[in-house]
């Protein structure tokens, strides 16, 4: 029986016959996709019946027994990309519209668009034959990942994958799939004796979070993919209304932000860090806010992404270091905690004067650098590794420490963690939020704690909100925490008051 028939080579009057008794074996998706096709099809209950059908019709028939391979066989005929065996564009369209249509209220779906960086250069350098082989190899590797039934090739070097999960788990599951994807794509490719290293950029959009519409999801995943593409190495970005703002909004807000800096409308709040063994405040994270004259206190998520986009984060970031320096002098009298964490955005590392300017500010405000800790994310590390490493090392030589923020959400290698002057890992609050709710999140929290222990680094849990989370963290050896359970970020005066009155800390 002709299983591997190329659809294009089939005569137009070909009919499909399915040999099977039960209608159930034909999934509703298969049936609806059949109805969309020009093929005629008929279902038979036995080979005898099929033979009868064949002789009755006197036409060309393609006889397909219904078993597990059948839906695949059929899809292959109609919807397969011939080069890679992944679904083609048409299949992707069916798959996404169908999935969106049947998404229940408790379910969510992530659309991943995976794009190979600089693929046209490979084609140009090695020729299209190597390019084709490379695409096939990439597809093979992607195919070894979970959700592989959903893999489609929608462009020359562009693949899509759908991830489905209950609403509350979708982010976590998506991140896991992305890590697995990056893992399989990582090793070099050997094609015609060439050893090829490549990177991918993955953009993600989620239903229902971002949209329930087919076109929106594709647009949003593509916007996120373009953001990921700006990062070095394998990278991914999840669509975020704050980051993926259109340029108009950036242009509109930029002068306002500049004015905010001139008019001294930014404020620093401090969120205490608690040692879970001594039950004392051992540090704080400095978090910026914008005291807008008419709109009240604006949180950083609403203006940091715009200032990163426009470059204004550079002067804003210096203002933060300067303000921390001044605040530290006031904190000295109140019994300065061990460390004050200052967030550094990836964009600040693109400023060639970062370390020299910070050094100047340190001297001007006589900052005790042993008490200064810079928080940076894994994403910042990957943008421009050599330069970031250079900045980190020079600031480290001045005595400042580094912590890796939102740890677990990015993609750090073991080697990198060992190589860099990183003293602390900060467990991302999304995993802490999953304690008591998701075994996967608990496993991640436990793994980060033991990773930190093995690498001889400190570990802080952020976003601790409940007693249950606190007990879990303590049981598993995470001894530093910050979060609403203890305190929200508060103005300097309130923080000083709290330093002087240790009884405010809630009972363990």
- Site of interaction with ligand C2E (CB under 6 A): 271, 287-288, 299-301, 304, 313, 317, 320, 343-345, 375, 405-406, 429, 462-465, 483-484, 489
- Least CB distance to Ca ion at residue 428 (A): 6
**Interaction residues for Ca ion, span 354-413 (CB under 5 A):** 375, 405-406
Q: What number of helices (H) and strands (E) belong to the chain?
A: 19, 20
Residue 373: which of ligand C2E, Ca ion, none does it interact with, CB under 5 to 8 A by kind?
none
Q: Please report, in angstroms and rounded to a whole number, the separation of the first and last CA atoms in the chain.
A: 70
Residue 224: which of Ca ion, ligand C2E, none does it interact with, CB under 5 to 8 A by kind?
none
Binding flag, residue 343, Ca ion (CB under 5 A):
yes
Residue (229 or 426) nearer to Ca ion, CB: 426
**Interaction residues for Ca ion, span 229-248 (CB under 5 A):** none
Residue 84 CA to residue 155 CA, distance in Å, equals 12
Residue 111: which of ligand C2E, Ca ion, none does it interact with, CB under 5 to 8 A by kind?
none
Q: What is the dihedral of CA 378, 383, 384, 386, to 10 degrees?
A: 20
Residue 303 CA to residue 292 CA, distance in Å, equals 11
Residue 300: which of Ca ion, ligand C2E, none does it interact with, CB under 5 to 8 A by kind?
ligand C2E
Q: Which residues contact 97 (CB under 8 A, 6 or more apart)?
A: 214
Query: 401 — phi, psi (to 5°)?
Result: -100, 165
Residue (162 or 238) nearer to ligand C2E, CB: 238
Residue (81 or 428) nearer to Ca ion, CB: 428
139 within 8 A of 80, measured Cβ to Cβ: no
Burial class (CB in 10 A: 0-12, 13-18, 19+), 104: exposed
Residue 372: which of ligand C2E, Ca ion, none does it interact with, CB under 5 to 8 A by kind?
none
For the chain, how many residues are written? 508
Residue (322 or 442) nearer to ligand C2E, CB: 322
Residue 102: which of ligand C2E, Ca ion, none does it interact with, CB under 5 to 8 A by kind?
none
- Least CB distance to Ca ion at residue 431 (A): 11
For 243, how many CA atoms within 13 A lie in the half-sphere containing its CB?
Answer: 15
56 within 8 A of 42, measured Cβ to Cβ: no
For 111, the 3-state DSSP assignment is strand
Residue (224 or 380) nearer to ligand C2E, CB: 380
Residue 108: which of Ca ion, ligand C2E, none does it interact with, CB under 5 to 8 A by kind?
none
Write the binding mask 65 to 84 for Ca ion: x where contact by CB under 5 A, - elsewhere: --------------------
Please report, as ranges, the residues that interact with Ca ion according to CB under 5 A: 343, 375, 405-406
């Amino acid at each position: 029986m002709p299983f591997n028939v190329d659809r294009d080579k089939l005569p137009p009057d070909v009919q499909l016959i399915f040999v099977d008794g039960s209608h159930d074996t034909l999934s509703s998706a298969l049936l609806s996709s059949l109805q969309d096709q020009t093929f005629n099809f008929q279902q038979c209950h036995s080979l005898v019946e099929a033979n009868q059908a064949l002789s009755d019709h006197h036409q060309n028939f393609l006889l397909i027994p219904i078993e597990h391979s059948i839906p695949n066989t059929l899809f292959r005929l109609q919807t397969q990309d011939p080069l890679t065996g992944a679904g083609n564009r048409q299949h992707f369209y069916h798959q996404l519209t169908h999935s969106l249509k049947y998404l229940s209220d408790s379910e969510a779906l992530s659309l991943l668009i995976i794009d190979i960086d600089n693929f046209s250069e490979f084609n140009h350098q090695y020729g299209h034959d190597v390019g084709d082989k490379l695409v096939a190899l990439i597809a093979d590797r992607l195919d070894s990942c979970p959700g592989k039934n959903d893999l489609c090739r929608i462009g020359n070097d562009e693949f899509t994958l759908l991830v489905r999960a209950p609403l509350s788990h979708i982010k976590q599951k998506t991140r896991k799939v992305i890590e697995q994807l990056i893992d399989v794509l990582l090793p070099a490719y050997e094609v015609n004796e060439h050893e090829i290293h490549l990177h991918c950029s993955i953009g993600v959009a989620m239903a229902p979070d971002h949209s329930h519409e087919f076109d929106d999801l594709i647009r949003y995943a593509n916007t996120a993919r373009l953001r990921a593409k700006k990062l070095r190495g394998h990278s991914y970005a999840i669509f975020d209304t704050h980051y993926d703002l259109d340029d108009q909004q950036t242009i509109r807000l930029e002068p306002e932000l500049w004015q905010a800096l001139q008019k001294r409308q930014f404020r620093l709040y401090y969120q205490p860090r608690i040692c879970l063994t001594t039950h004392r405040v051992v540090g704080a994270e400095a978090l910026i806010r914008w005291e807008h004259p008419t709109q009240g206190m604006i949180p950083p998520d609403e203006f940091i992404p715009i200032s990163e986009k426009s470059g204004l984060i550079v002067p804003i970031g210096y203002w933060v270091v300067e303000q921390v320096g001044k605040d530290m002098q006031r904190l000295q009298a109140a019994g300065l905690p061990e460390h004050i964490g200052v967030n550094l955005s990836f964009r600040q590392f693109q400023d060639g004067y970062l370390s020299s300017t910070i050094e100047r500010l340190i001297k001007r405000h006589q900052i005790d650098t042993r008490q200064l800790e810079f928080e940076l994310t894994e994403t910042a590390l990957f943008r421009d590794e050599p330069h970031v490493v250079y900045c980190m090392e020079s600031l480290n030589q001045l005595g400042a420490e580094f912590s890796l923020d939102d740890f677990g959400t990015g993609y750090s290698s073991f080697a990198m963690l060992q190589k860099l002057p990183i003293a602390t890992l900060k467990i991302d609050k999304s995993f802490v939020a999953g304690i008591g709710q998701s075994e996967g999140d608990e496993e991640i929290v436990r793994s980060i704690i033991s990773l930190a222990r093995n690498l001889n680094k400190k570990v802080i849990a952020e976003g601790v909100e409940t007693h249950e989370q606190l007990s879990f963290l303590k049981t598993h050896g995470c001894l530093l925490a910050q979060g609403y359970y203890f305190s929200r970020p508060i103005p300097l005066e309130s923080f000083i008051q709290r330093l002087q009155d240790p009884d405010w800390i809630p009972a363990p």
